[in-house]
Structure 1
Amino acid sequence: MSKVVGRWRIKWMEMWDQDFVDLVEPGYFQFDKDGLGFFVFGAVEGQIDYRVSDDGERVEFSWSGNDDGSEKSGRGWFQVHSSRLAKGEFFIHCGDESAVEIEHQT
């Protein structure tokens, strides 16, 4: 099983402060075993379709969902630095982008 599977709490985003990230509920990314997942932060939420590199150290994903009720999509990636920490980038198609750090929840 890939070490990215599970719920990862958003600890920091370059573009948005933590109060916004946790606006509706504590921000997170969820990576399920089947290559799909979900994320929530602020007023943004979406379904994820992800792939893990052969070495298990990088995950790349596309997503579709909404931002405050408006349909949105995008992509992103994370580099896994340890079993608990990953850092990457999150992109909204034709919109904002942000560096992001996540921490695996136990």
Structure 2
Amino acid sequence: MAKKATTSNPFIGRWRIVSMDQWDREYIDEEEEGFVEFRDQASGGFHFGYVYGEMDCDFIKRGDEPAADWTWEVNDESETVFGRGWAVIVEGELHGMVFFHEGERSGFTAKRKDVSKGKRK
């Protein structure tokens, strides 16, 4: 059984999706820049293409490495869609998978969004 992460959470913040196995960059950024966002110790969201999901997150350790697992749901064309996902941080990048329940799945890579851009000094 995985143990809960007890140190500061390296996942918190917005991550820019830079690639996905199943969809190209044009689709990823169709409505806005694709992202995965971890807001706090239990929630987050993601958006790519025409899909925006609200996440119920669990931050754990696999061995000695931090990991994030989540379930998600979205209303898509008046239909509720569910799924799950996971991610790990490898050399400063977020690597993971997003799964649609009984449907598609895709690996993704994301880079931490620079939050200093656009801030006034």
Q: TM-score, normalised by structure 1?
A: 0.90
Paired residues of 1:85 and 1:103 also in contact (CA < 8 A): yes
1:43-96 deviations in whole A, cap 9, x for unaligned?
A: 1111001111135521111001134553211001011113x3011111000110
Q: How many residues align?
A: 105
Structure 2 residue 87 is matched with structure 1 residue 81: no
Specify which of 42, 64, 67 is matched with residue 49 of structure 2.
42
Specify which of 25, 31, 35 is matched with residue 18 of structure 1.
25
Q: 1:68 to 1:104 in 2, by over 3 A?
A: farther
Q: TM-score, normalised by structure 2?
A: 0.80
3-state SS, counterpart of residue 57 of structure 1 = strand
1:12-50 deviations in whole A, cap 9, x for unaligned?
A: 000011100000000001101241011111011110011
**CA-CA distance at 1:105 after TM superposition:** 1.2
3-state SS, counterpart of residue 19 of structure 1 = helix
What is the 5 A alignment of 1:24-35? 24-35=31-42
Specify which of 58, 79, 95 is matched with residue 67 of structure 2.
58
User: Identity across aligned pairs (percent)?
Assistant: 30
3-state SS, counterpart of residue 20 of structure 1 = helix
The equivalent residue for 1:71 is 80
Gaps of 5+ in 1: none
Structure 2 residue 51 is matched with structure 1 residue 6: no
Q: Distance in 1 between matches of 2:93 and 2:47?
A: 18
State which structure, 1 or 2, has the greater radius of gyration over its C-alpha atoms.
2
Paired residues of 1:46 and 1:64 also in contact (CA < 8 A): yes
3-state SS, counterpart of residue 102 of structure 2 = coil
Q: 1:52 to 1:24 in 2, by over 3 A?
A: same
RMSD over aligned Cα atoms: 1.5
Q: Distance in 1 between matches of 2:49 and 2:26?
A: 8
